[in-house]
Structure 1
Amino acid sequence: MRGNDGGKRLGAAELGAELGERATLVQFSSAFCQPCRATRRTLADVAGMVDGVSHVELDAEERLELVRELGILRTPTVLVLDAGGRIVRRAAGRPRKADVIAALGEAV
Structure 2
Amino acid sequence: MTGIIVLLVVLVAALVVGTVLRSRSGAVRAVAAEPEAAGVDPLLSALGIGVGPEPTVLHFSAPWCGPCAAVRRVVTQVIDNFAAARDDLPIPRDVEVDLDENPELARKLGVLSLPTTFLFDANGTERFRVSGVPNAADLTSALEPLRAPGDFLS
Deviation at 1:95? 0.5
Q: Which runs of 5+ in 1 are unaligned?
A: none
Instruction: Flag the structure with higher helix content.
Output: 2
Distance in 1 between residues matched to 2:54 and 2:117, nearest whole Å:
17
Deviation at 1:105? 2.6
Question: Following superposition of structure 1 onto structure 2, how do residues 36-55 of structure 1 map, counting pairs within 5 Å?
Answer: 36-51=68-83, 52-55=91-94
CA deviations on 1:18-49 (whole Å, 9 max, x unpaired) are: 34632111000111111100110110111122
Q: Hey, what does 1:3 align to over in structure 2?
A: 30
Larger relative CO (CA 8 A, sep 6+): 1 or 2? 1
Distance in 1 between residues matched to 2:78 and 2:53, nearest whole Å:
14
Q: Which runs of 5+ in 2 are unaligned?
A: 1-27, 84-90, 148-154
CA RMSD of aligned residues (A): 2.2
| Larger Rg, first or second structure (1 or 2) | 2
What is the percent sequence identity of the aligned residues? 31
Moved over 6 A (4+): none
How many residues were matched structurally? Answer: 108
Instruction: Flag the structure with higher strand content.
Output: 1
TM-score, normalised relative to structure 2: 0.62
1:33 and 2:93 aligned: no
